[in-house]
């Protein structure tokens, strides 16, 4: 393999000048949302902290390690900052309209996303999208290189930025680089379809430590290193040729989590509990409330879930108005074709179920194509009896963990797809193959009818897991491993 650093750098890279920050988080999104004043469009935008788990976990590290966050503000526009929002130093990477279309909607979400999620829909391989991915990744790498102090730690996140580690290493040989992939890493037979598979593997291998959600993702990546880049691996270590010898890069599983205590606390609030009761009353006080909460994404198995529910109603195993399904489907990637098609299909199906099984004043599916604040989500988690997570493929699925974190009284059951990262950890769930509609129906009925004692035993074990392994624990073990990674250790020239 050619030295990754030279291939990745490209013309016009900045010299290895050092910035001010000892810790740099690089993620496709900034951890804040822009809030414009509609009455005064010329006023400076305000920034409100977005509710993601990553920022909650990393904020304390950012403060103690003099950190900065480099990310995209979420819409086309020029670069921003450095600026401060909510006490956090931020750098906004600018993307043009064309780059939003080619990089974000194209290569990230119509090529990599379906490819990494087991080709549930066909990935599109389009050369100009790849070029845009290279250009934008280089921009992120430069922004990180400009901010990082000498010897800084840089943590790069997710599939949108897989070339950043290699590019950054070429610009700044002194920094320590970690990369975490929040989504699955596919089996080699699928990954091999990617025309740029070698460049992706080499880009990732610019890191000192690569983190994945599950052991199976790590194993898939190690195989890709051998097959796509011709490298040798030993256990979790990959031997990577380097201009000055050989580096060893480590790949391992670090299952991501949530701010468990914050969800538990939210769910114990009187107003949130009152809202949960209000939701059940608004639904007509049903016997069973089933709940699905997802981005409207084809990976989430929403159609499979609706089909199973619809058949349970057809067969009379569940009856409306005794049973109600709430499906929150938050808008996502709405300009990508497969997302538009999915929305049409889901909405037609919901309409059919409600037409077939509804009555005046009772609706079997409450479909909400909206996003909600955390308080409302916690109230929904409390209002539900059975949580349905039926993803066809999912890196982790944090909704499953949020539901568990909120059930302080140890009631409620979780139906969980075995194709989620969470399935490795939440062994108290009712695990299911969502492709098996008969199996899914039977599993939903088991979760609906389980004895309170068994439900409690299952919930207790899941809560223990989610409380012991929260997002702060995740960040701490990743950063500890990065600290101990064989940084720039020269191993001799042969591989």
Closest CA to 365 of 447, 287, 291: 291
> In angstroms, what is the minimal distance from the CB of 105 to ligand F6P?
9
Question: Per the omega criterion (within 30 degrees of 0), is the bond before 425 cis?
Answer: no
> In angstroms, what is the minimal distance from the CB of 182 to ligand F6P?
4
> In angstroms, what is the minimal distance from the CB of 226 to ligand F6P?
26
Q: Which residues in the 102-131 window bind ligand F6P by CB under 6 A?
A: none
Active-site option among 182, 208, 217, 294: 182
CA distance 191 to 200: 10
Q: C-alpha 119: how far from its chain's center?
A: 17
Q: Does 200 bind ligand F6P (CB under 6 A)?
A: no
> In angstroms, what is the minimal distance from the CB of 54 to ligand F6P?
8
SS (H, E, C) 268-309: CCHHHHHHHHHHHHHCCCCCEEEEEEEECCHHHCHHHHHHHH
Of residues 104 and 309, the one with the C-beta less far from ligand F6P: 104
Which residue in this structure is represented by tokens 């011709």?
230
Q: Does 142 bind ligand F6P (CB under 6 A)?
A: no
The binder of ligand F6P chosen from 62, 121, 143, 183 (CB under 6 A): 183
Count of residues near ligand F6P by CB under 6 A: 7
Of residues 30 and 289, the one with the C-beta less far from ligand F6P: 30
Q: Does 441 bind ligand F6P (CB under 6 A)?
A: no
Query: Any catalytic annotation for residue 39?
Result: no
Of residues 110 and 183, the one with the C-beta less far from ligand F6P: 183
As given in the structure block, the two tokens for residue 414 are: 């979780």
Of residues 169 and 333, the one with the C-beta less far from ligand F6P: 333
> In angstroms, what is the minimal distance from the CB of 293 to ligand F6P?
14
Residues 340/305, Cβ–Cβ less than 8 Å: no
DSSP calls for 82-123 = EEEETTEEEEEPPB-HHHIIIIIIIIIIIIIHHHHTTTSSPP
Query: Any catalytic annotation for residue 102?
Result: no
The binder of ligand F6P chosen from 182, 300, 407, 458 (CB under 6 A): 182
CA distance 402 to 159: 23
Question: Per the omega criterion (within 30 degrees of 0), is the bond before 205 cis?
Answer: no
Residues with Cβ within 8 Å of 359's Cβ and at least 6 positions away in sequence, in order, are: 320, 321
> In angstroms, what is the minimal distance from the CB of 488 to ligand F6P?
29
Burial bucket for residue 226 (CB in 10 Å: 0-12, 13-18, 19+): middle
Q: Does 401 bind ligand F6P (CB under 6 A)?
A: no
Q: Which residues in the 23-52 window bind ligand F6P by CB under 6 A?
A: 28-29
Active-site option among 217, 259, 297, 394: 394
Q: Which residues in the 327-366 window bind ligand F6P by CB under 6 A?
A: 332-333
The binder of ligand F6P chosen from 59, 99, 146, 158 (CB under 6 A): 158
Residues 302/327, Cβ–Cβ less than 8 Å: yes
Binding residues for ligand F6P (CB under 6 A): 28-29, 158, 182-183, 332-333
**Where in the sequence numbering do the catalytic residues fall?**
182, 394
């Amino acid at each position: 393999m050619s030295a990754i650093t030279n291939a990745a750098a490209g013309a016009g890279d900045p010299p290895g000048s050092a910035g001010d920050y000892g810790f740099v988080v690089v993620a496709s999104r900034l951890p804040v949302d822009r809030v414009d004043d509609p009455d005064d469009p010329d006023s400076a935008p305000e920034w409100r902290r977005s509710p993601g788990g990553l920022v909650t976990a990393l904020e304390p590290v950012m403060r103690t390690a003099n950190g900065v966050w480099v990310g995209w503000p979420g819409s086309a526009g020029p670069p921003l900052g450095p600026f401060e929002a909510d006490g956090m130093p931020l750098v906004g990477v600018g993307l043009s309209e064309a780059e939003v279309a080619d990089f974000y909607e194209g290569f990230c979400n119509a090529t990599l996303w379906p490819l990494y999620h087991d080709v549930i829909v066909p990935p599109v391989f389009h050369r100009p999208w790849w070029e845009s991915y290279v250009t934008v990744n280089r921009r992120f790498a430069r922004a990180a290189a400009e901010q990082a102090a000498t010897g800084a730690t840089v943590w790069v996140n997710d599939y949108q930025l897989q070339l950043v580690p290699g590019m950054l290493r070429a610009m700044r040989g002194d920094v320590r680089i970690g990369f975490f992939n929040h989504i699955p890493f596919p089996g080699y037979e699928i990954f091999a379809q990617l025309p740029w598979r070698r460049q992706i593997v080499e880009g990732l291998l610019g890191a000192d430590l690569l983190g994945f959600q599950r052991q199976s993702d790590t194993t898939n990546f190690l195989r890709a290193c051998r097959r796509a880049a011709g490298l040798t691996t030993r256990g979790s270590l990959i031997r990577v040729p380097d201009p000055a010898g050989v580096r060893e890069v480590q790949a391992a599983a670090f299952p991501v989590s949530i701010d468990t205590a914050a969800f538990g606390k939210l769910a114990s609030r009187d107003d949130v509990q009152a809202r949960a009761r209000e939701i059940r009353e608004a639904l007509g006080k049903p016997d069973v409330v089933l709940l699905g909460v997802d981005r409207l994404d084809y990976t989430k198995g929403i159609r499979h879930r609706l089909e199973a529910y619809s058949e349970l109603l057809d067969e009379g195993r569940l009856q409306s108005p005794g049973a109600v399904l709430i499906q929150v489907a938050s808008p996502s990637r709405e300009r990508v074709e497969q997302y538009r098609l999915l929305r049409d299909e889901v909405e037609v199906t919901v309409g059919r179920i409600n037409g077939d099984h509804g009555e005046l004043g009772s609706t079997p599916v409450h479909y909400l194509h909206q996003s909600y604040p955390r308080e409302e989500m916690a109230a929904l988690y409390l209002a539900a009896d059975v949580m349905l997570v039926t993803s066809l493929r999912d890196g982790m699925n944090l909704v499953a963990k949020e539901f568990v974190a909120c059930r302080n009284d140890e009631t409620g059951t979780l139906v969980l797809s075995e194709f989620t990262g969470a399935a490795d950890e939440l062994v108290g769930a009712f695990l299911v193959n969502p492709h098996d509609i008969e199996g899914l129906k039977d599993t939903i009925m088991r979760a609906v009818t389980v004895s309170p004692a068994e439900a409690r035993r299952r919930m207790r074990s899941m809560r223990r897991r989610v409380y012991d392994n929260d997002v702060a624990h995740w960040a701490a073990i990743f950063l500890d491993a990065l600290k101990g990674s064989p940084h720039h250790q020269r191993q001799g020239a042969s591989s």
